[in-house]
Structure 1
């Protein structure tokens, strides 16, 4: 974290000097007074200025975004990251061309990178933040695909009157399936198996 030591005739002036150097606002820093100002003898001899240490507070979102930028640069991926507030937290939208290397097979690379970004962001955070990563609108498109799959499998389970097992999925993808089918009266869903081979079973409900 960035910090500077500044001096001035008063503590407030010293703090202001530090804020200008750090280019941040007062609410983003912690201030420690190192020396109180003193006028000295006759207001001249032994006069001492105020000295403060001003440190920028840890910003989990900023650190997560910086880490993501470093990873993209290391992977030689030319992209920009746009930040959006969501109901669940913060979303980083990675925008660029040929982002397949970032997404990976069925979003596995994107999920792994999202996990690392959250670890870095929350390592020193006072309050946990949740960061979601997306690239080329992949998560929206994948959600639509999974919901279509869920609908087909549910109809198949009802028609065949037997349990239908899906292939192994990540926890986030299983959540999409469960959520999409939870309000249907004709089927029930549950997960079986151990990670990373855990899968969903769609079962018809008895009439």
Structure 2
């Protein structure tokens, strides 16, 4: 096991116990506590990036629409971190989330993005959902979207939940699971 990952795994969680307690109680965290969480997350991400010779890549921090911390790695030639259809990025996110949670001692929503890929994909999936819904209404038919990750399917369901002219549900088995849009 590498020294970086071993160091992450052996890190004490006691130092973050007060933050964990306040967060779990639903209290609003102070800017200093949020900075501490961000520092831990950036440290873990840099350790993971070191395996791709990208440890010193710039990382932009910002708050997402649902209050999550988003870390966007902004360096050229990091397509390897995104992978085909974002699958490598999904795997990186899973490992990253586990390591951050373990180090903090609680789960705080932190997302990793690379060159804004997730943001662009989010917008594309929402647009695709609205377009497919319009097509279902216009053609009085059912429209099946291409296979998507669970996260992307959730985006479609959320994007169309207020559209009273269509209904959505998911069909199929992973990795071919897709959203089907039907006329109400």
Q: Who is 2:172 aligned against?
A: 193
Decide whether the 8 Å contact of 2:16 with 2:104 is kept in 1.
no
Q: Does residue 134 of structure 1 match 2:113? A: yes
Q: Does residue 92 of structure 1 match 2:75? A: no
The CA RMSD measured in Å over matched residues stands at 2.6
Q: Does residue 112 of structure 1 match 2:122? A: no
The alignment partner of 2:121 has SS state of helix
Q: Structure 1: state its 5+ residue gaps.
A: 4-26, 31-58
C-alpha distance in structure 1 between counterparts of 2:92 and 2:176, whole Å: 20
Q: Who is 1:68 aligned against?
A: 45
C-alpha distance in structure 2 between counterparts of 1:170 and 1:2, whole Å: 32
C-alpha distance in structure 1 between counterparts of 2:87 and 2:137, whole Å: 31
Q: 1:160-171 maps to which residues of 2 (within 5 A)?
A: 160-171=139-150
Q: Does residue 83 of structure 1 match 2:76? A: no
TM-score, with structure 1 as normaliser: 0.65
Decide whether the 8 Å contact of 2:11 with 2:103 is kept in 1.
no
Decide whether the 8 Å contact of 2:170 with 2:178 is kept in 1.
yes
- Displacement of 1:117 in angstroms is 0.4
1:29 and 1:128, CA in 2 relative to 1: closer, same or farther beyond 3 A?
A: closer
Q: Who is 2:104 aligned against?
A: 125
Q: Structure 2: state its 5+ residue gaps.
A: 1-9, 18-35
Q: Which has the higher strand share?
A: 1
- Displacement of 1:88 in angstroms is 3.3
Q: Which has the higher helix share?
A: 2
Greater radius of gyration (CA): 1
- Displacement of 1:173 in angstroms is 0.8
Number of aligned positions between the proteins: 154
Decide whether the 8 Å contact of 1:81 with 1:92 is kept in 2.
yes
C-alpha distance in structure 2 between counterparts of 1:168 and 1:154, whole Å: 16
C-alpha distance in structure 1 between counterparts of 2:179 and 2:93, whole Å: 23
- Displacement of 1:130 in angstroms is 1.4
TM-score, with structure 2 as normaliser: 0.72
C-alpha distance in structure 2 between counterparts of 1:123 and 1:79, whole Å: 24
